[in-house]
Structure formats: C-alpha cells, structure tokens
Amino acid sequence: MSWTAPPAPAGAADGAGTGRVIIDALPRPRDQSRLTRRNALSGPLEGVLVVDLSRVLAGPHATMMLADLGARVIKVEAETGDETRQWGPPFVGEDQVSTYYLSCNRNKESIALDLKSAEGRQVLTRLVRHADVLVENFRTGVLDRLGFPVEHLHELNPGLVVLSITGFGHDGPEGGRPGYDAIMQGEAGIMSVTGPPGQPSKLGLSICDVLAGMNGAYGVVAALYERTRTGRGRVVRTSLLASTVGAHTYQGTRWTVAHDVPVSIGNDHPSIAPYGTFRCADGEIQIGVANQNLWRRFAPLVGIDPDDERYATIPDRSARRAGLTADIEKALATAPRQTWLERLAEAGVPAGSIRSIDEVYQWEQTRSQGLVIEVDHPRLGTIELPGPPLRFDGAEPREHSAPPLLGQHTDAILAWLDEADRAAGADRTASP
C-alpha cells in the first residue's frame, strides 16, 4: 500500500475519538513529519503497512526486520509504552532512554492507544483496514478478549497477514504458558548443551527471542508472496519453543536418530576436533579444523604429523580430544596470539580472535558491512545502532530512523488515517 504522511498537526492528541491517545510528555521531536516519511524509503517491502502490537523482543525484532526491508511499521503501544522502555541499566541521556528498547525498534513509528477503551479499539480497527500485516505476541486469547479474534480481523481485511508469536505455541497441553527467553533457553534444551561440562549455562544473547523474530519475519514475507496468488491473508504462527527447537540442527538429530543425548562440552564441538578455543602465549584464539584438507594444513604448524594414527581422522581426533588439545596448546604456547593468527591465515586455516562487544563495533570489517548505522534520535542526538544484516546488490544504503518516542507519531498517524479513510471511501463510491 502506498502512502504519504501529512505534516503533523500541532498540539497533543488526548481527546474524544482518539482512544485516549497520548503523546510523550517531553518536548516534541525535531521535524516529526520528516521522521515519519523516512520509513517510506525504498526497499523490497516498500508499500507494505505493518501494524505492530508486539512488545519486548521477539515481535519487535520481527517488525524491525520488516521495517529494514522498507515496510512502514506502526508500533501500537499501551499508554505505559513497551515495557523495554523501562529495562535497564544501562540508560542513556537526561531522559534515561533504555538501550534495550533502542536495540529492536529502529525504522518504526509509535502511536499510543488504550485498547481497552472503545476509542482505542476504533483506531486499531481503522489501522487494520489499511494494513497488510498485523503482528502480535500476546498470550493466547488476549487478542480475542480485546475484540480482535482472527475471524474478525479477516472480516475487516481479508488480505491481512497476521503473525502471532507465543512462548510455547498457541495450542497443545502447555500452549498458554508465558515464555521469556531465559525460561525457553532452559525448557528448549539450549542450556543443557551450553557452558562448561556439567554446568548448564544461558547464552549471553536472547537467542530464542531473536530466532522467533527471524522466523516470524520470513513467515510474513512468504505469506505476502502467497497473497499475490490467492488475494487472501494467512495467519502465520511461530513460538520461542518452535524457533529454538528448529535451531537444534545436529544436536537434535544426535538424539532423534542416534539416541545419543548431547551434553555441554564448553567451547569444543561435539563432532569435530580440533574446533574451539585454544590458549596461546598471551591469551586465547578460536580455531576451526573442520575437514581433512584443513587438518593436513594445520597439523604441521603445531608440530603434529597429520598421519599420526592417533589423530588421522575426525573420529580419531574427537575420541582423543583432551590429548590433542594438550599437544596443540604446547605448540601455541611458544608464540603470542597475533603471530598464530597470521600463521594460520597464511596456511588457510580458519581462526579468529575472541573479541569483546566494544571491539566488534570498532572493528573496520563490522563497519564495512553496514552493521553500524547512525540515526538522529530526538532526545539523544546522533547515536550509533547495530545495523541490519542484509544488503541488496545495486541498492543504495538507506537512511534509518531512530526508535520512536512513546506516541511520537500519533498526530501524523491519525491525520494519515483520516486521509486514507477518505480516499478509501472515494474509491468505493467510484467503483461500478
């Protein structure tokens, strides 16, 4: 759907017929209409309108991916806002902006609605009629209780694609359970294969949420493509549980096929050796010797005969992992990390540093891939954010907009809705 945002009307919106819409009480951001219009920049999903009812991370990550691809994303927030606006530390700036919230809401607009009020539900109804996609990650049944079951959504807009993200799935014996990432890392097996032996550990990233968001976004894209043939929208469902189990890969088939229960083995690989973390004279590096060709290049560097019968094959090396590691680290102890990284690179053996997060974002390779972007935040000024992971050949780098303030675009969205409703009415009148 193509759209043009009108200039934002002056003043706050907090009256009848707006669903008790609120604007962030702080001073108005600079050039609000420009911030709104920037979301319409070109991309593969240009013209797609997404109504985002989600909060926290899985849903917002999905809608941020869609926004990065050019969709217009309208983030519908409760009057208190997405709860991640309060998650910290760290907070930054005089207004104590949450860096967690900043991580998953770029390229969106925000409207604040009380969906328990008749006025708020009316505004959402208008948005749904014009939308291509609606995204929600409420607990099962919440959207129904608000008056928007799937059947009603499709009565309002038969072409609407609905993405629903839950914790454990929308049905099944435990379908109604709430699920946060840390809980799912335990329930879905990640902790059992992470960390030192015998010490189940959580990943330092919210991987279950992110995987669910990614799966949701690609499900939406598939449903939009299907709609080009059928003319009708579909409900796309995923969950933290489904997305995490779906990422088990070789750890999953290790059990389903071989009936071998994986366990945590630290930084080693359960099927390949040498593959993991190794100590040099002044610290640690990562080395990945994943096939025989690499082994024949690597072994002489550390003084091992590649045909040594103890280590001749991948199964041999995996079975004698402790001895192999000791032999390798004896050689690595003779030189610092950088020397070994250079030797391994010259031999064509995959290896790398273990970087801290600050080092990753200062790394020129990271920046060369567009993985650090600048945005103009209405409170914080120019800030850097992690950038989108996709690039398209021939496309100019897009300008990104900062994660919105609570209710930042309310006036502009309501004015656009008035214009869109009038246009839709005129189209119906003109139809034969």
Note the pLDDT tens digit of each residue in 64-108. Answer: 999 999 999 999 999 999 999 999 999 999 999 999 999 999 999
The pLDDT value recorded for residue 101 is 97
% of the chain surpassing 90 pLDDT: 84
Model confidence at 279, in pLDDT bands (50, 70, 90)?
very high
Whether 209 sits among the annotated catalytic residues: the reply is yes
Query: Edge-to-edge, what's the strand order for the sheet holding 283-288?
Result: 275-280, 283-288, 351-352
Mean pLDDT of 30-42: 44
Q: Select the more confidently predicted residue: 135 or 31.
A: 135
The pLDDT value recorded for residue 430 is 55
pLDDT tens digits along 139-148: 888 999 999 9
CA distances from residue 361 to 109, 368, 394, 401 in whole angstroms, order as listed = 26, 11, 25, 19
The one catalytic residue in 24, 132, 181, 209 is: 209
pLDDT tens digits along 394-409: 988 889 999 999 999 9
Model confidence at 41, in pLDDT bands (50, 70, 90)?
low
The pLDDT value recorded for residue 401 is 96
Mean pLDDT of 377-400: 93
The pLDDT value recorded for residue 60 is 98
For the chain, give the mean pLDDT.
Answer: 89
CA distances from residue 329 to 123, 283, 297, 350 in whole angstroms, order as listed = 64, 11, 17, 17
pLDDT > 80? residue 426: no
The whole-model pTM stands at 0.87
Query: Using omega within 30 degrees of 0 as the cis cutoff, is the peptide bond preceding 196 cis?
Result: no
- In order of their start, the domains of the chain are 32-247+367-430 (3.40.50.10540), 275-355 (3.30.1540.10)
Model confidence at 42, in pLDDT bands (50, 70, 90)?
confident
pLDDT > 50? residue 5: no
The pLDDT value recorded for residue 428 is 58
The pLDDT value recorded for residue 34 is 38
The pLDDT value recorded for residue 429 is 54
The pLDDT value recorded for residue 35 is 39
Which residues lie closer than 8 Å to 409 by C-beta, 6 or more apart?
Answer: 8, 32, 35, 36, 74, 109, 110, 111
CB atoms within 10 A of CB 250: 11
Model confidence at 15, in pLDDT bands (50, 70, 90)?
very low
Model confidence at 176, in pLDDT bands (50, 70, 90)?
confident
Establish how many alpha carbons lie within 13 A of residue 376's alpha carbon, considering only the half-sphere containing its beta carbon.
Answer: 9
The pLDDT value recorded for residue 396 is 85
